[in-house]
Amino acid sequence: MMTDHERLAQAVPALISWYEANRISMPWREDPTPYHVWISEIMLQQTRIEAAIPYYHRFLAALPDIPALAAVEEDRLLKLWQGLGYYSRARNLKKAAVEILERFDGRLPADAKALRSLPGIGDYTAGAIASIAYGLPEPAVDGNVLRVVMRLTACDEDILAPATRKRVAALLRGVYPTGAEAAALTEGIMELGERVCIPNGEPRCGACPVAGLCAARQEAAVERYPVRAEKKPRRLQPMTVLLISCGDRYALRRRPETGLLAGLWEFPNVDGAQTPEEVAAFLTGQGVTPVAVRSCGEARHVFSHVEWRMQGYAVACDKPTPGFTWKTAAEIRSDMAIPTAFRFYLSQLEDVPCPIKSI
Ligand code: SF4
């Protein structure tokens, strides 16, 4: 009976040859400098490849290198990131760029441990930069890689457990090549997971270069892997979003510096599904005198652990209250990084808010 190490060691050359024969061109693959690999990997953490490509081009056109990233104004950075979500990733890119200038002479270090010491760079991203850009024998274990290895070795540990990820990384590290082959192996396993050993539905084992080595297939139990422990259901959070207008300006505020969507601009909102009367009472408490309130639609947004169920009210008021920042619809659309969670309400802004009948 083959050990997991032997199975993986035999799979490595097959995965590299398969990747070299089947690789799909992507902008960052055609010029895999450490900076390009870094930016692309951070973007791809929560975004599909096709969706990330225009962002990648736009980002590099604006911030072509580490000094430009270190010097960028935060609002401009967040605007470049708008639509990708998880804005802390963009902030960490800038923080890391500043540290790279201070600590590493302006170059991303060619060392996985040093890479991991930078803000926003965890095991996965460090492994990707180290292997793809520098040819170091470091695995980059994402969900695709985990799934492939767990099927290949018929591993029945929980795929979501951190200990499983550590074990898979250690197993891979023991068989990793160096140089161009390290890059091809990192890209190859991920791509096999994207295109052949796919997550939902039946994997395409007939097209798999390591089918002859796959323990799950030998057990005729491919559908059993990967094993996934029950997830806690997502928390539902009802909330009320307020489009408060005064003349042609709308009220915005910054979110708190910590927690979900930290420090981003948002439309004022309150927890819970409020009635128009409750909204009016809440606003009065904030020093806003509402002259009219009307419903402006419902929306929802799903985060990893919570789902916002939003209902909105358009509120007209007679004077701009100092507690908010007041901007026109055009300024909000062009200059302010509003999280995607509020996209529906962004679409409800009017350049000249219509007069609203009083309740
Ligand atoms: Fe995945 Fe099938 Fe290949 Fe096994 S044989 S690694 S299950 S695609």
Q: What is the pLDDT of residues 23-76, one digit of tens each?
A: 999 999 999 999 999 999 999 988 889 999 999 999 999 999 999 999 999 999
- 146-150, 156-160, 277-281: least confidently modelled range: 277-281
Average pLDDT over residues 197-211: 94
> 280 near 290, Cβ under 8 Å?
yes
> 320 near 251, Cβ under 8 Å?
yes
Q: Tokens 């302006």, residue? A: 106
Cα distance between residue 273 and residue 295, in whole Å: 12
Q: Which residues line ligand 1 at a C-beta cut-off of 6 Å?
A: 148, 151-152, 196-197, 203, 205, 208, 210-211, 214, 216-217, 222
Q: What percent of the chain has pLDDT over 90?
A: 78
- pTM for the model: 0.74
312-343, pLDDT tens digit by residue? 999 999 888 888 999 999 999 988 889 989 99
Residue having the nearest C-alpha atom to atom 2 of ligand 1:
205
Query: How many Å lie between the centroid of ligand 1 and the Cα of residue 217?
Result: 7
Average pLDDT over residues 166-187: 97
Average pLDDT over residues 304-317: 93
Q: Is the peptide bond before 226 cis (omega within 30 degrees of 0)?
A: yes
Mean confidence (pLDDT) of the chain: 93
- State the pLDDT at residue 357: 41
Three-state DSSP at 144 gives: helix
Which of the 8 DSSP states describes residue 322? T
* CA atoms 202, 233, 269, 337: torsion sign: negative
Query: How many Å lie between the centroid of ligand 1 and the Cα of residue 150?
Result: 10
> Which of 197, 200, 219, 223 maximizes ligand 1 atoms within 8 Å of its Cβ, making it the mutation to test the pocket?
197
Active site members: 41
Inform me whether the pLDDT recorded for 195 exceeds 90. Answer: yes
| Angle between helix 143-152 and 4-22 (nearest 10) | 130
85-119, pLDDT tens digit by residue? 888 899 999 999 999 999 999 999 999 999 999 99
Inform me whether the pLDDT recorded for 218 exceeds 80. Answer: yes
Inform me whether the pLDDT recorded for 358 exceeds 80. Answer: no
Measured from the Cα of 204, ligand 1's closest atom is: 8
Cα distance between residue 162 and residue 160, in whole Å: 6
Cα distance between residue 89 and residue 118, in whole Å: 12
Q: Any idea what the Cα angle at residue 256 is, between residues 278 and 241, rounded to 5°?
A: 30
> 313 near 296, Cβ under 8 Å?
yes
* CA atoms 166, 162, 228, 209: torsion sign: negative
Number of C-beta neighbours around residue 50 at 10 A: 8
User: pLDDT-based confidence at 351, cuts 50/70/90?
Assistant: low
Q: Measured in whole angstroms, how far is the alpha carbon of residue 336 from the centre of its chain? A: 20
Which are the contacts of 33, defined by CB distance < 8 A and separation ≥ 6? 133
- State the pLDDT at residue 91: 94
Cα distance between residue 200 and residue 79, in whole Å: 34
- State the pLDDT at residue 89: 93
- State the pLDDT at residue 63: 98
> 144 near 151, Cβ under 8 Å?
no
> 332 near 346, Cβ under 8 Å?
yes
Inform me whether the pLDDT recorded for 359 exceeds 50. Answer: no
Residue of 170, 177, 161, 142 whose CA lies nearest to 42: 142
Average pLDDT over residues 265-293: 89
